[in-house]
Amino acid sequence: MRGYDTGRLLIKALAKLQGIWNGPQVVQLMKTLPVISPRHGEPLQFDTHGDAINPGYIFRVKRKGNQLVNEMIGQVPPINIDDYQK
């Protein structure tokens, strides 16, 4: 899930830079551009290390007819590592 959000942020940052790659600017934009996570409907937030602060999800794979589908069975609350490094 975090990879999906990261990909959305990367595309948004590159669009803002008109497709021109500049590593430091891309990282800064990824930390500041507002992106709403489709899973919890709130803007992504980052800790001081640049890691996303968002919930984790626990899934299991179920067979539904001829397809395998993900079924969410739990959620881990968002963790901000800054709260533990005081």
The pLDDT tens digits of the residues spanning 4-15 come to 777 888 888 999
pLDDT reading at 40 higher than 80: no
Q: Which long-range contacts (CB under 8 A, 24 or more apart) does 60-63 make?
A: none
Measured CA to CA, the distance from residue 79 to residue 76 in angstroms comes to: 8
Nearest Cα to Cα of residue 81 among 37, 42, 50? 50
How many domains are there within the chain?
1
Tokens standing for residue 15: 């669009």
What global pTM score does this model have? Answer: 0.54
Domain that holds residue 41: 2-84
Output 70 or 42, whichever has higher pLDDT. Answer: 70
